[in-house]
Amino acid sequence: MKRSELVPEPGEGTMESGEETMERNELALEVIRRLKDAYPGADCTLEYDQAWKLLVSVRLAAQCTDARVNVVVKELFERFPGVDALAQASVEEIEQIVKPCGLGHSKARDISACMRMLKERFGGKVPDDFDALLSLPGVGRKSANLIMGDVFGKPAIVTDTHCIRLSGRIGLVDEGLKDPAKVEKALWKIIPPEEGNDFCHRLVLHGRAVCTARTAPYCDQCVLSDICRYAQSGADRHLQKTDA
């Protein structure tokens, strides 16, 4: 799916015809407003000071916590302090350092190939083009969106596990929609492009603190409980039981 097919042009707006989409637009704006109040800061929890480092950290973050990645990359970047140095490292050398993040071999292989391609095809610089980012080994839509948003300040929807879970529960996308590209497409229609990147960071913060995956969500402590589909359907069920 080409990015140009998803991201509205400036001024094009995000509204679609149809009552359901209009309701979702309004819901999305209210969710954005409340999450901004609840989480004024919306920074990426991966620590980086250069774009190529974020590229590496994002690959390591698959099935690993950002906190662990932040620790592991300290040694990696000390030993290989630039794109050239990391491109010249062997996969085994990288794997030795990154294996605490899990999937050490495949992550090391992708990082090595990615750094070599950055060096050979992009002059050692991370490209600010979505399709060019997608061409890099180990970089999928989620990572490419994160780089576009965090590094280049461009519109981005990062459909990680928190974004997919919360969007479904809240009712921003169809219930049960799990495919990241389909969730991304659905969100592009209702989230103002300039809000997308920070909104997704806030979904991560909310997903960790309140709308958790491993336990039942803490709806009684949630700022969205009166507008959230999941919480409201629970309230409906409770009312029906009480009425019976």
Catalytic residue list: 142, 160
Question: Nearest-CA neighbor of 75 among 52, 94, 62, 55?
Answer: 94
Instruction: Tell me if 225 contacts ligand SF4 by CB under 6 A.
Output: yes
3-state secondary structure of 9: coil
Q: Considering only the stretches 112-120, 177-185, 191-199, 225-233, report the one whose residues sit in contact with ligand SF4 under the rule CB under 6 A.
A: 225-233
By 3-state DSSP, what share of the chain in percent is helix, strand and coil, each rounded to 5?
65, 0, 35
Binding residue for ligand SF4, selected from 3, 142, 169, 202, defined by CB under 6 A: 169
Instruction: Tell me if 135 contacts ligand SF4 by CB under 6 A.
Output: no
Task: Supply the minimum distance, in Å, between the C-beta of residue 163 and ligand SF4.
Answer: 12
Binding residue for ligand SF4, selected from 72, 118, 133, 222, defined by CB under 6 A: 222
Angle at 140 between CA 83 and CA 31, to 5 degrees: 115
Question: Nearest-CA neighbor of 77 among 106, 61, 56, 101?
Answer: 56
Q: Please state, in angstroms and rounded to a whole number, the distance separating the CA atoms of residues 47 and 178.
A: 28
Residues in region 70-109 near ligand SF4 by CB under 6 A: none
Task: Supply the minimum distance, in Å, between the C-beta of residue 220 and ligand SF4.
Answer: 8
Q: In which residue are the tokens 């459909």 written? A: 159
Residues that bind ligand SF4 (CB under 6 A): 166, 169-170, 210-211, 217-219, 222, 224-225, 228, 230-231
